[in-house]
Amino acid sequence: MTVCETCGGVGFSIVSREGREYAEPCSCRRNSAESPEAQLAGCGVPPRYEHCVFDNFDRRTPSQAAARDRAERYVEGYPHLGPQEGLGVLFTGGNGVGKTHLAVAILRSLVERKGVRGRFWDFHELIREIRNSYDSETKTSELQVLEPVVEADVLVLDDLGAWKMTDWMNDTLFYLLNSRYTARRPTVVTTNYQDADLEKIKSADPLVRREYLVERIGQRLRSRLMEMCVAIPMDGPDMRRIQQDVLRHTV
């Protein structure tokens, strides 16, 4: 197989605009015979989220509207290599406010419009897959499972913090995120836990104490996420609960 002379086989070439460097899909990727539909099918988006696009996102609060606008700007400006644009996105907020919807909408738009090769992983399922990856007969190791996750152009990591982190999980996730960060591959992350630094947590009112992201994943991982992602907080009603209530009343 002939390696592209422009990009060296990585699929992106570096261009300069207005004194800054950007990565753009190489012509060898744009000329790929694989259709956007086939690329989307290979992203691993669960069937329950396949309908998620920007146009059907329900904006009920100012933060939801702002989050959608920011997500659309992210797609427009992709790929982001400047420190102010943010290499990736971190959506934070409660259940059912639309974090995963926007993450999938970003992934879908990038695949369809920019030829990105993406991957969706639920944090819980990824950890389970890595944990069960070693097979003494096939010699499959966790690094072989992680390789396509690390090398995806864009990774959606959904529901970060769903499990309390063990040392092994923390080390594995840091390896994954740090590898993507150093390779300038963006990661779109969702979590139900609000972000706050340790000083703010210490001064919080104990009567309304809640668990924060840093307490679920540790300071080292939280620091790396803040370096590699733009944090987008979201609030609003739990749309999943509203939909369930509607279904119950229509039966």
> Which has the higher per-residue pLDDT, 192 or 5?
192
CA-nearest of 198, 199, 230, 207 to 85 is 230
pLDDT digit string, tens, across residues 136-160: 565 556 677 888 999 999 999 999 9
Partners of 89 in the β-ladder: 188, 230
Query: 180 near 221, Cβ under 8 Å?
Result: no
Model confidence band, residue 55 (pLDDT cutoffs 50, 70, 90): very high
> Helix 167-182 vs helix 123-131: angle between axes, to the nearest 10 degrees?
110
Model confidence band, residue 84 (pLDDT cutoffs 50, 70, 90): low
What residue type is assigned to position 38 of the chain?
A
Separation of first and last alpha carbons in the chain: 58
Domains observed in the chain: 1-33 (no CATH), 35-250 (3.40.50.300)
pLDDT digit string, tens, across residues 119-135: 999 999 998 888 887 66
pLDDT digit string, tens, across residues 178-215: 999 888 899 999 999 988 877 777 776 666 667 889 88
Rounded to whole angstroms, the Cα distance separating 130 from 136 reads: 14
Average pLDDT taken over every residue of the chain: 82
> Which has the higher per-residue pLDDT, 116 or 38?
116
pLDDT at 149: 92
- Return the DSSP state at 19: T
> 178-216 in b/e burial notation, b at 16+ Cβ within 10 A?
bebbeeebbbbbbbbbbbbeeeeeeeeeeeeeeebbbbb
